[in-house]
Every structure is written in structure tokens, then in C-alpha cells.
Structure 1
Amino acid sequence: MAFAKSEPTQKNRRDTTIQLGLFDLVPSLSVTEEFNDNIFLSDSTQKSDTISRVVPALTLQSNWQRARLRLEALGDAGFYAKSGEDDYLDGELGVSAGSDIGPAFAVDGDFRIAKGHEDRGGDDIPTGANEPVTYDEKNTEIALRYFAGDVHYRAAMAFRQLDFDDTALTNGGIANNDDRDRTELRLIMRASYQLGPGREAYGETTFNQREYENTPDDQGIFRNSNGYRLLGGMTFDLTNLIKADLGAGWMSQIYEDSRLQNNEGFSLRAATTWNITRMTALDFRAKREIGETTVTGASGIIGESFDAGIEHELRRWLSIRLNAGYQQDRFEGAGRTDKVTHFGGGVLYVVNRFTELDGSWRYDQRKSNETGHDYRRNRALLTLRLKM
């Protein structure tokens, strides 16, 4: 869950950088102890555990004037006290670069490779899985920007590839996850018009193509699809008081297999941060989009989510936060609807400019119209962050 972060707070928490000529090196390390009372998101058989998580990160950022280069490396290791089969080791490497070509033209590129996991209990996790599902992910994006007076144009091509590993089952068998392997291609075109200082109106069109490696899948279904999303809206940046991106429009996803229900409806994207005072900030996020799933009978998921958070600095070194949200997922064609509510709170103690101590509590509850998908979960977390 993302919590609100006020502008003054962010300024006081700048990472300590190491100057290497024309580059800034930013190393960091966070260590988290988490107690989770329902690690498998089960309604009938709840199992609790304590999880130790270590996240080292390293960023190398250029400070050139007309060109940009950023290298990132991130690790994420989790260790369960009781359920050792759920230990994981994730990581990500990324490089992004860009250049301003003249006063009106810019080009940017980004490439990332990652190894991740999905905990047991997820919707697309095989029944009876004895371990998390691991996967490899590649993301590439190339973007062009052009400025013509008050009108700005941006065009981007994005490519994503997912490769899921097979999973061991509790009965000794192996679950085939190749049905989830896919590539996603997106073409994003955006035009915006400057209405005044800090105000901009925009129109955005996104076309997508989603192709699965196994066609048909083990159920004999062809899950390839094509779709689009149209958005129109405005952005605001009013003297660091209010920052907002508000857009609404229409979305559609057409599936290759006639047995799968085509999906369409209104689309929404909203992100707002309001610095009520120098010490208090309110944050709001909302979206409505079409997601992928391999749940039997479902073509996709139309998801709606709303999140709000507030953060207040009691002192320069001490802040508190509260967060709440609601999410509804409709599995189109399967007749299943899940409703998830969550809320939580936390306290951040800034020991010094190198060290932070963060304690939080989070609660999630899902109610579904299908038996076996309800759950409740409490999580208590204590995190130590080091910036070197």
C-alpha cells in the first residue's frame, strides 16, 4: 500500500549520495521483520509465520546537463521462520538513458530484467502448490518527445515478456505454468496543451497486443487479445500545493477465442497529492483497467481500486500515517467478483540522515461470491532503512 508523502518530508529524506565525477552513487539497505497471520490467504486453514526480508539497492545516476543515464540494481530476499518452502530470492537490473536533441526534441529508453515470485494463495497459483511461483520478466520502452510551443507530444513503444516456472505440488507432482507465459506490446500516443502555469490538458491513446506462448493452452483456449484505451484529462502542479493527474475515457479488449467474453467499459486514472500544510499531506489514487488471468472460464479481470492516505509530521524526525482502500475485481465470463478492503497505519522515526526506523500494521479482507476465496489477514512490520 502506498502512503502519502508530503513535499517537506520528502525534501528532508534525500538519500545520501556519493559523488563519482559526473555521477551520483546511491546505495541503500532495508531490513524488515514481518508477522503475517495468514501467509496463504486461506479462509479455512490459516497459517501464521514470521518473515525476514533484506532489500539492498544501488543506483548510479548521471548529473549531465542534456543527457541522462541511470543504472539500478535491486535485490529482495525473504526468509520464513516456519515455512522454508516459501523463501524467495528476487532481483532486478535496469538501465535508462535519454538525451535532449535540440530545444524541442528528446528521446528516452529504458530496459529492465527481473526475477520475481508470487506467494501461494494467489488467483492464478496452481491448487496444491508447495512453493511460490517464480517468473522472469523483461521490460523495454522507447519514447520520443516533441515540444511545439504550448503543445507537447509523446509517443512510446513498450514491450513486456513474462516466463513462469513450473511449480512443485504437495502430492509430489509438477504444475505446468507455461499457459501463463506471454508477451505484451503497447503503443502509447499522447498530446497535451499548456493551459497556464502548472495546468495542462491532455489526450492519450494506448493500443495493446497480448500474445500467449501456448496457443491453445491446456484447457484448449486461445487467450491472445488486442485492445485499446482512450483517456482525456488534466494535470495540475500548483506551487507544490496540489499535484494531480485526472483522466477518464473508454477501454476495450477483444479476444481471439470466441468462447471468451470481450471486455469493455469506462476507464479511469487518478493520482492526487494535496499538501494541506507544510506538515500534512493527503494522497489519493484511483484506477479502472482490464487485467490478465488464466482462471477457468474468465477472459480477463476488470479491476477498480481506490486508495487514500494521509501523513503528518509531528516533528522533523517523527511522522505518522494512515491508509485505507477498496478494490473490486470482476472475473469476466466466470461470474466471480472479489471485493477487497484494506487499511493500516504506521510511524516513521528518522534517527539521522543515514538511518530510518519504520513500524506499521496492515489489514486486508477479501469477500468473494465464490466459495473458498474469502480471507482475512493482519501484518505487522518493522523496517530498518540504511542510507550510506
Structure 2
Amino acid sequence: MSIFQTQVCFAALLLATTGPALGQGLPIRGVDPPDWARALPDAVPRPSFVPAGAVTPISGTPAGANRGIRDSAEASSRRLAPRGALVRDGAAVPWLGPNLDAPPLPGDAAAAPPPVDTAPAPTVTGTVRRPTAVLAIARSRGPIPPSRRDALEARPRPFPDAAGPVPAVRPVAPPGPVPAGPPVPPASRTIPEDPLALGEELPADRLGLRGGGFVWLPALELTAGRTDNVEGMAGGRPGPALGIAPELKVRSDWSRHALDVELRGSYTRYPGNADYDRPGFVGIAKARIDLADEMRLDLRGGYTLQRESAGSAETPAGAKVPSDASTWTASAGLTRDVGLIWATLRGDLEATRYTGGTLASGAPIAGAAARDNDRLVLAARTGLSASPAARPYVEGQLTRRTYVMRSASGRDADGYGLRAGLELDSGPLLKGDLSAGWSSEEPADRRLGSLEGWTLDGTLTWSPTRLTRVTVNARTALEPTTLAGSAGSLARSTGLTVLQSVTRQVDAEAGVTLTARRYAGIDRRETTVAGTGTLTWKANPNVHLFLRGTVERTMPGAPDPDYSVGTVLVGLRLQR
């Protein structure tokens, strides 16, 4: 048998096998025509190589003829269905079309079986993608009702009759919502590791006690160490140092209004040198009263006690123990928001008293009370609520300073202040209030001259990461004096502190403070530079151990010599 006769016989055998399927509308897995099929003469019918997804023309078949074929097609659809697809028994598979074996719908009229279409399916040419599923349309056992046949004929064909590129077959998602999985148990949910992003305290920080609508935060620090300058002046002697510092913070836990109280005392004892023991106390109370919508009343009160420096120009020559300065403060401010504009009217009262102090002879320091004075400030501030994170403002002040002793009445002064600032609140990332301006006081005695200068006030806290916190402090004060020919001193203090959490239990903190004091009317300047470093180990939220070192360098200016004070302390902090 020649090669041509062999090819003709093989083609006839292929047609005999695939012809009934083409007439009945069964699927044929498509491949590209092989070379031998392309080489057939024109007189020999070529078989149709239908790509995957192509269907044969619809034609009627006897009832039940395609039951086995559809069963096998459904089984294949389960194997070829996408991962996660839901295929139920007896349900229509999306890429197989509707179940034509289902009973007729009510109202469907009986129809004669349509003529069987025996024409071969048109060959679809073009690029054939890798088949993903075999499409099939099963035939009904009996005649198709007209309504259902019209619906089937109106359905778009998977492939157009015209030649062209073969589109990819994409399975349709199963009908109906996919049931949700079981809920995630609370224990397996991810908890953010950045407490700063949530505005919360670190886990190792104190928890406090709750009672009476307040959160109580008590603490106690005990320190022991050594200093190289007990007297805190030029030529001072070294010696041991013991300290105790109780602390109490109270925060309200109310839905409306607010009250915060902070009390901190300290006492440093130098065994064998009791005359140089240093007391200290700071107490601040702040209250917010919500009066009405967009209106509030802010109240503030405080008290501070600190010992003056032995090298200060205010301490008389030959003094053994400097005087103590006590300051009471009170403030009340009314704030009203009107749209983007807000305004505050505030009144401040500050009373300073100087007591104690002894000379080398043991006699008290005379004239320390001559500096006792009261200062009244009336301020008006207005700003723009540009955004919740930034609120610029301007403020104007009128001041009045009155000395208690009539002998110093010539130092009574009237003054003013102007400044512009910015309130920042970007959550834990950046928060604070910083302002710059100008202040001036004019004493009643014109011979003393005026006390004036630029000012910088405020606090700014920046947290670039959850483990790092940078704090900048600035304060400018117009301080009284009894030095001849001077109306007072302008003191500027600027500090920078960096706190780094090395681990969850170890914190390292370092800071530096620069204080510059200039006396008006006389050639007198004082500069103090202080550095501090602290390493804290948090054994648990209630017990902390720390190592602290401080170095302070004072340069009082001629004719007094410079001196420094260095201290190293080991401490225990108990808190709740």
C-alpha cells in the first residue's frame, strides 16, 4: 500500500470515530492540526481540530443519550475546577452550561425534536492556549421547550464563528457567596509591637492605682553615692551623699473635665556636713473645666522650693549656706474656639520669697528678704487651627512687678511681652509648644535702666522611633535682684535630653543644659553648663535600678573663680 493510500485510510478512520461526536455536540479536546492532516488533498475531507473550550453546534439527541457523557464531563470538571471552587452533585457546572436534563419549567410547551445538524463544526483558527478545561453541553433526553431553546440560542458562544485569535477560557466563580472561615481566636491575633504608634506607655512603665475617679501613681527614689564638692563652691571638699525623693502623680479618669496633680520632693544629705544639706520640692496642679461647646477654663497652681547656688552673685560674700527660694504660682485662662480661630485670655500671678541662709560666722544672711516680690501677668493669645497637628498663635502680655519691702519700691517695674509660637500635636511622633519673642521691664527708678531681651520658651518632644525620645526645653525669665545699679537679670536656659531604650528593660538617658544669666546695667554674666547620664534597669514594672552621674560647671565671671561639681549615684526606684 502506498503512502498516500495509508493516509487516506487513516483519515477515514478518524472521521468515522469523530463524526458522530461532531454531530451530537460533544466536546473534542483540541490540538493544532498535524503535518499529515495539512498534507491531505483537497478532495479528502479534513478533520476539525477544535481548540480546548470550543463546542460543537447544538442539535437534538434522543433522551438519555448523553447521560454518561455528562457524568464523565462533571467528573472531569471536578478535577479541572480551580482550587477552592465548590461543585455540588446535581448542580450546574459554570463552564459546562445549564443542566439540560433538568425537568421542564412550568408553562413550557412540548415541541417536536429539531432536525439533527450533521454538518461538521467550523474550524477555529488562531493561537491556541494551553487548555485548562474541556467544555461540553449535554443534550436533553427529549425535545427542548421553545422557551429554553431560545434562551440557549441567545447565549454567547465561547468562540465566535469568524476566524481570529482564540480567547482564553476563564472559569466562572461558583454561584453564591463563599462561606467565611472560622473567626481568628483572640490569642492568635497580631498585637502591634509599637506602643508609641498607639499613644500608649511602654509595657514596663507603671500601671498605677485606681480609686475615686483618679489614677494614683506613687513612687519613691533612694540614692547613695559620692560628690567631689559638698559645698558647691570653689574649693569645696568631697564627701558621701544620700538622697530620698518621694513622688506622687494623680490623674483624673473622668468623661468630662480633667485634673492632674504632680508632687515631687527631694532631700540630699551630706553625712558630716549637715549645713549643706539641700531640700527641694516641686508641686503642680492643673485643671480643665469644660464650660460649654468649644469653651473651657484652664486653672493652674504650683509651688517650688530650691536652694540658690553658692557661686551666684545674689549670695553675699562669706556666706556658708545660700538662701532658699520659694515660689507660688497661680493661673486662670478662658479659651474659646470660633471656627478656625481660637482665643485665650489668661491671668498669671507669681510670688517669690527668699528665706534662710547663714554666713561663715553663723549669723543669718541679712537682706535676703529684700528681693521678695510679686509679679502679675495679663496675657491674650489668639491662633489659627490650621490642622489638628499644628496651631500657630501670637501672644501679648502686660506685666507688673511689685517688691514687698518698701525700701525696694524704686525697683517696682511695669513691662510687656510679645511672642509668636506653634502648638504641635502629631501624636507620639512630635508634640509640644515652642515660642519666641521679646520681653521688657521698666523700673520706677529710671537710673537702673530697663531689663529687656529676646525670649525662647516651650517644650518639644520628638520620637523618631518607638525606642528613642528627644526632648528640648527652653525657658527665659526676668529675675529680680538687689545688686546696686541693676534692674535685674535675664536668665535663659536651654536643655536637650535623649532617651534610648536599649532593650525592653534597659534605658539609657543623656542630657545637657546651658544656663546663661546676664545682669542689666552692670558688667556681670554667669554661665552654667550641666551634663547628666542615667542607665536604668527595669527589673519589673514596680522596681527600677539606676546609675546616674552628673557634672556641673559654673562660671560666675570675674572676680569669682570657676568651679565644678561632680556626683555619682546608685539608686533604687519603687513605683506603682
Smaller-chain TM-score range?
0.7 to 0.9
Matched, 1:204 2:395: yes
Amino acid of the residue matched to residue 180 of structure 1?
R
- By how many angstroms is 1:354 displaced? 0.5
Amino acid at match of 1:58: L
What one-letter code is carried by the residue in structure 2 that aligns with 1:46? G
Corresponding residue for residue 26 of structure 1:
217
1:305 paired residue number: 493
Match of 1:252 in 2: 440
Are the structure 2 counterparts of residues 324 and 181 from structure 1 closer, same or farther at C-alpha, using a change threshold of 3 Å? same
Partner of 1:259, secondary structure, is helix
Instruction: Find the partner of 2:527 among 326, 339, 356.
Output: 339
- Output aligned runs, 1:158-197, within 5 Å: 158-176=348-366, 177-197=368-388
Map of 1:354 onto structure 2 = 542
Whole-angstrom CA distance in 1 between matches of 2:570 and 2:419: 40
Query: Secondary structure in 2 aligned to 1:126?
Result: coil
Match of 2:453, SS state, is strand
Give yes or no for contact 2:413–2:442 (8 Å, CA) kept in 1. yes
Alignment: residue pair count: 379
Counterpart for residue 77 of structure 2 = none
Q: CA deviation at 1:309?
A: 2.6
Structure with the larger RCO, 1 or 2 (CA within 8 Å, 6+ apart):
1
1:203 deviates by 0.6
Instruction: Calculate the aligned-residue CA RMSD, in Å.
Output: 2.7
Q: Distance in 2 between matches of 1:138 and 1:233?
A: 26
Partner of 2:563: 375
Change (3 A) 1:66 1:193: same
Structure 2 match to 1:11? 202
Amino acid in the other structure paired with 1:50: P
Instruction: Indicate if the aligned counterparts of 2:396 and 2:416 stay in contact, CA closer than 8 A.
Output: yes
Letter in 2 for 1:347: L
Q: Is the 8 A contact 1:96 1:108 kept in 2?
A: yes
Q: What is the rounded CA distance, in whole Å, between the counterparts of 1:94 and 1:310 in structure 2?
A: 24
| Match of residue 50, structure 1, among 233, 240, 257 | 240
Task: Determine the structure 2 residue equivalent to 1:80.
Answer: 270
Give the TM-score taking structure 1 as reference length: 0.87
Instruction: Measure, in 2, the Cα distance between the counterparts of 1:74 and 1:270.
Output: 21
Q: Structure 1 residue 118 and structure 2 residue 118: aligned? A: no
Say which is worse superposed, 91-100 or 232-241, in terms of deviation: 91-100
Aligned equivalents of 1:381 and 1:142: distance in 2?
A: 40
Q: For residues 246 and 70 of structure 1, what CA distance do their matches in structure 2 show? A: 22
TM-score, normalised relative to structure 2: 0.60
Q: CA deviation at 1:89?
A: 4.6
> 1:56 is aligned with what amino acid?
P
Q: Distance in 1 between matches of 2:458 and 2:201?
A: 21
Consecutive unaligned residues in structure 1, runs of 5 or more: 1-5
Would the alpha carbon gap of residues 282 and 113 (structure 1) be closer, same or farther in structure 2, given more than 3 Å must change? closer
**Higher alpha-carbon deviation: 177-186 or 295-304:** 295-304
Instruction: Quote the residue 1:316 is aligned against.
Output: 504
C-alpha displacement of 1:79:
1.5
2:468 matched residue in structure 1: 280
Please list the CA deviations of residues 252-300 of structure 1 after superposition, one character each: whole Å capped at 9, or x if unmatched. 1111112212022322235332222221223333444433333343322
Indicate yes or no: 2:555 matched with 1:364: no
The answer as to whether partners of 1:230 and 1:251 remain within 8 angstroms in 2 is: yes
Greater CA deviation, 150-159 or 293-302?
Answer: 293-302
Check whether the contact 1:40–1:121 (CA below 8 A) recurs between aligned residues.
no
The answer on 1:139 being equivalent to 2:139 is: no
Give runs of aligned pairs for residues 234-253 of structure 1, distance below 5 A.
234-253=422-441
Greater Rg over alpha carbons, structure: 2
Cα separation, partners in 2 of 1:201 and 1:256, compared to 1, 3 Å = same
Would the aligned equivalents of 2:344 and 2:382 in 1 still touch at CA under 8 Å? Answer: yes
Please say if 1:66 is aligned against 2:256.
yes
Do the aligned partners of residues 344 and 116 (structure 1) sit closer, same or farther apart at CA in structure 2, a change above 3 Å counting? closer
Partner of 2:343: 153
Q: Is this contact kept in 2: 1:236–1:242, CA < 8 A?
A: yes
Range 312-321 or range 258-267, more displaced: 258-267
Q: Which amino acid aligns with 2:340?
A: D
User: In 2, distance between residues paired with 1:68 and 1:87?
Assistant: 37
Tell me which protein shows more helix as a share of its residues. Answer: 2
Letter matched to residue 165 of structure 1: T
| Distance in 1 between residues matched to 2:420 and 2:443, nearest whole Å | 25
- Structure 1 residue 201, shift from structure 2 partner: 0.8
Distance 1:160 1:271 in 2: 21
| Aligned match of 2:293 | 103
Instruction: List, as ranges, runs of 4+ consecutive aligned residues in structure 1 with deviation greater than 6 Å.
Output: none
| Residue 22 to residue 238, structure 1, CA distance change in 2 (3 Å) | closer
Whole-angstrom distance in 2 between the partners of 1:238 and 1:72: 25
Contact kept? 2:204, 2:505, Cα under 8 Å: no
* Deviates most, 54-63 or 91-100: 91-100
Unaligned runs of 5+ in 2: 1-194
Q: 1:105 to 1:28 in 2, by over 3 A?
A: same
CA distance, structure 1, for counterparts of residue 498 and residue 261 of structure 2:
32
* Displacement of 1:166: 4.2
SS at match of 2:370: helix
Question: Is residue 2:228 matched to residue 1:40?
Answer: no
Note the alpha carbon deviations across 1:162-220, whole angstroms, 9 max, x for none.
22224332224332211021111122221121112301111112222111111324xxx
Contact 2:230–2:270 at 8 Å: present in 1 too? Answer: no
Cα drift, residue 231 of structure 1:
0.8
Q: Rate the CA distance shift 1:78–1:326 in 2: closer, same or farther, 3 A.
A: closer
What SS class does the counterpart of residue 275 from structure 2 fall into? helix
| Percent of pairs with identical residues | 22
Q: Is the 8 A contact 2:311 2:556 kept in 1?
A: no
**Which protein has the bigger strand share?**
1
1:90 Cα deviation after fit: 4.6
Letter of the 2:481 partner, please give it.
T
Change beyond 3 A, Cα 1:109–1:270: closer
- Secondary structure at the aligned position of 1:15 is classed as coil
Name the CA shift for 1:114/1:157 in 2 (closer, same or farther; >3 Å). same
Question: 2-side partners of 1:258 and 1:13: how far apart?
Answer: 58
Q: Is the 8 A contact 2:302 2:330 kept in 1?
A: yes
Structure 1 residues 75-124: Cα deviation after superposition (integer angstroms, max 9, x where no partner) = 33232112111235555666543320122111132334555433544332
Change (3 A) 1:61 1:322: closer
| Distance apart, 1:70 and its partner CA | 4.2
Q: How far apart are the structure 2 equivalents of 1:92 and 1:232?
A: 28
